[in-house]
Structure 1
């Protein structure tokens, strides 16, 4: 085999930061106009290539920042399977978050022991039992199954689920609500998935409906990466990279919020012949802004002497006189 020497980077070139792996925190909500779930990005930070800062530490810092801003309010954290571990969930629970997420099948779950039920009149030696029967697939099959039609992922789906209040071993025996569910599609029934809620008072269908709000975050990732060009972000400094990313996040959030406001002028420009008249999407408003913004003379609002924007433009003669006085 012929080995080729590795080319070293040129000394006069800077080391650029590439925004390839990001941790996002977003707020999902339902648009009142068309009842469609969407998400608005709030915070983002890139995962470093090396060092001790992991994605879990970045996520914990984001949750702490949000809790400091929204003190005294009930907050719910929806996350996927990757973040559903003790390292991430325990700090979130200490901050007062209610956590709902998808967990893998290999998590050790135990039913409530007999001692957790009404106490027995007979005394027993030793400490009280902390864990009951392990919830194996055989034990799960003994639970009653419920079939219900729910509005999940933009469609009415027939869902079959079993639910039980258990103790989670990876959360040091915390009492949680576990839901084993599967729904029907064109190919039949999907495989069983497990969902966990740290609030055991929630019903099983409420847990499934709450977790379905996390799905709009996936289209948000795709649109920010491809439509808004975040996959091509690169800068020499981390601060500049974060500024570019948050500017793009603000633009994405603006389009999503404009779908709620439904500005008549923007909707008139964004109407499409083949769409329903009452349909308003973020893509339609983006096209409307593409026609509106070029007509706004943004260069005329820039005061080059004071280095700031002046949206209230004076007359041409007054502006030239004031600029000459300041220049003199």
Structure 2
């Protein structure tokens, strides 16, 4: 953060030193600094410089190609990014990173990595477990959190605990996600109340009105068309939306629900 090259010696020279620079170097080299505490200090530092009422976080996984055949977390993994001139399967490590989005001048945004976690090759600690640990590490230190995740992390085991913590979730679900309209009011009867109404399919989406708006996408203003509907996602067990007060995953854009 202090220098573009990332050299530790140059970062030490950039700060206001109260001791000789070798003291700081030995502290970094020999001291055992807890990673969780260090990431929290970094988060507090960035929020102090760029204060905001609503903290926007990004949670994503990244494959780092490796030449070595053996090492921590190294194995053949499937690359979902479909990048050019890259094979479908890579000998790589998988890192799950929690990053903070900071607004800078002219309305643009800057992403600051807060903490990265190396995914183990064996065991029960998968991506969802690591994602929950990263979010639990900052619990109580920030207020008003909005989390952006991709389709892989849109799972019930991660989203429902975060919704109980008043965390706003923005994510894209799979195309085959079962979405339903909220149930219609019905007279009192025995048994549990209905959670789901009519299913939202492609034919229903075609009948919805189209709204046009301009958004800043990929560094420029673009005009998009949106179809939206309040829907209930089956994989979320019809959890209540804090935004609209209904049981939904609002809104649904182009047939894909965004909670």
Scaled by the length of structure 1, the TM-score of the pair is 0.47
Residue 183 of structure 2 aligns with which residue? Answer: 113
Counterparts of 1:138-149 in structure 2 under 5 Å? Answer: 138-149=203-214
Distance across 1 between alignment mates of 2:203 and 2:129: 37
Residue 23 of structure 1 aligns with which residue? Answer: 96
* Offset at residue 77 of structure 1 (A): 0.9
Q: Which has the larger radius of gyration?
A: 1
Give the structure, 1 or 2, with the largest relative contact order (CA under 8 Å, sep 6 or more). 1
Q: Provide, for residues 3-58 of structure 1, a one-character-per-residue CA deviation record: whole Å limited to 9, x for no partner.
A: xxxxxxxxxxxx743572100000112212x4322200001110001111111101
Distance across 2 between alignment mates of 1:20 and 1:130: 41
Distance across 2 between alignment mates of 1:113 and 1:16: 52
* Offset at residue 143 of structure 1 (A): 1.5
Higher helix proportion, which one?
A: 1
Distance across 2 between alignment mates of 1:179 and 1:132: 16
Q: 57-66 or 86-95: which moved more?
A: 86-95
Cα distance, 1:43–1:132 mapped onto 2, change above 3 Å:
same
Counterparts of 1:94-133 in structure 2 under 5 Å? Answer: 94-115=164-185, 127-133=192-198
Q: Provide, for residues 45-104 of structure 1, a one-character-per-residue CA deviation record: whole Å limited to 9, x for no partner.
A: 10001111111101101101111333xx11111101100010211122223211111111
| Residue pair 2:229, 2:250 contacting (<8 A) in 1 also | yes
Residue 256 of structure 2 aligns with which residue? Answer: 194
* Offset at residue 127 of structure 1 (A): 4.5
Q: Provide, for residues 102-155 of structure 1, a one-character-per-residue CA deviation record: whole Å limited to 9, x for no partner.
A: 11111111111111xxxx6x6556543321100011111222111122222211
* Offset at residue 161 of structure 1 (A): 0.7
| Residue pair 1:100, 1:195 contacting (<8 A) in 2 also | no
Give me the CA root mean square deviation.
Answer: 2.1
| Residue pair 2:202, 2:255 contacting (<8 A) in 1 also | no
Residue 129 of structure 2 aligns with which residue? Answer: 57
Distance across 2 between alignment mates of 1:106 and 1:160: 21
Scaled by the length of structure 2, the TM-score of the pair is 0.58
| Residue pair 1:166, 1:176 contacting (<8 A) in 2 also | yes
Residue 42 of structure 1 aligns with which residue? Answer: 114
- Structure 1, unmatched stretches of 5+, are 1-14, 182-191, 198-328
Distance across 2 between alignment mates of 1:125 and 1:95: 32
| Residue pair 1:176, 1:196 contacting (<8 A) in 2 also | no
Cα distance, 1:107–1:16 mapped onto 2, change above 3 Å:
closer
Distance across 2 between alignment mates of 1:180 and 1:95: 23
